Chains A and B, each alone.
Chain A
């Protein structure tokens, strides 16, 4: 079964998939959001994948909190101290 072959709630899975990025970014209009919810409410495959997609983007966003390792940072400061020495 391919995403283009299946339709639930007036939307093909492929179309629901195409909305996922705007959904996680909070950019869907009300109409599209309603359509997506109707689809996901009746389609286990897209409900599961939607959750995975959301988790993946959350994972990527969490990487924005990681800085350089301590030794990298130490060597950077040492190098800068030498440069401005």
Chain B
């Protein structure tokens, strides 16, 4: 990653395209990869481990319950966040999450792509969108850049998110208040940390369009968070 990027927690799993790697994974598996595609890397105290989710899917397709349990451990976090992003509320997200894993269980056998994670994200996104409960509210409308910057707080006093408990809720509600396109790009790029070109591919848009959408989505999220804090403060 480049310099100048704000620090992120070391425990955050990062999606990485890498060269071929062969690693020992625990005492029971050796995962030899001819290419690095479809792998999730975790940076930890012991260095980088590569887990091949594609191999896990193949084993799940073969009825291996241990592999399914391991897959749940590995990806319930990311898939939960994707479901939450697209379904918009906890109840719908939970239903979507269950539906997603059941679909994975049933269709693992037919997975044949290069990216297990992208395949699972797609299932989750579809499940969550089907369950999205429409909220009454203003439809997203085009907003000039200056107006958006002002709403995001340019020129105003900086505001602090409240104490930890509140700030999580404010952040979640600000995300839920966005329209689907904004929420999608923020979820994939910032929350899930997928590299820009992968986000563009996932959303089927050119990289330059993804970048400008991302920028506007970040500003809109800031504006929504300011509005939430304003509401809380009465």
Q: CB within 8 A of A45: which of B154, B161, B191?
A: B154
Q: A62-B8, A80-B102 are in contact. Are A49 and B153 (CB under 8 A)?
A: yes
Q: Let me know if B5 and A24 touch, CB within 8 A.
A: yes
Q: Main SS of chain B's interface residues?
A: helix
CA A14 to CA B215, docked complex, whole Å: 13
> Given A17-B149, A67-B80, A56 and B218 touching (CB < 8 A)?
yes
Q: Are A2 and B146 in contact (CB under 8 A)?
A: yes
The reply on B158 being an interface residue by CB < 8 A is: yes
Shortest C-beta distance, B93 to chain A (Å), equals: 8
Interface range, B side: 35 or more
The answer to whether A3 touches B8, judged by C-beta atoms less than 8 angstroms apart, is: no
Total number of A residues with any Cβ neighbor in B under 8 Å: 49
Residue of A nearest to B196 (CB): A25
**What is the interface of chain A mostly: helix, strand, loop, or mixed?**
helix
Nearest residue (CB) in B for A19 is B215
Q: CB within 8 Å of B: which residues of A?
A: 1-4, 13-14, 17-18, 20-28, 33, 45-46, 48-49, 51-68, 72-73, 75-77, 79-80, 83-84
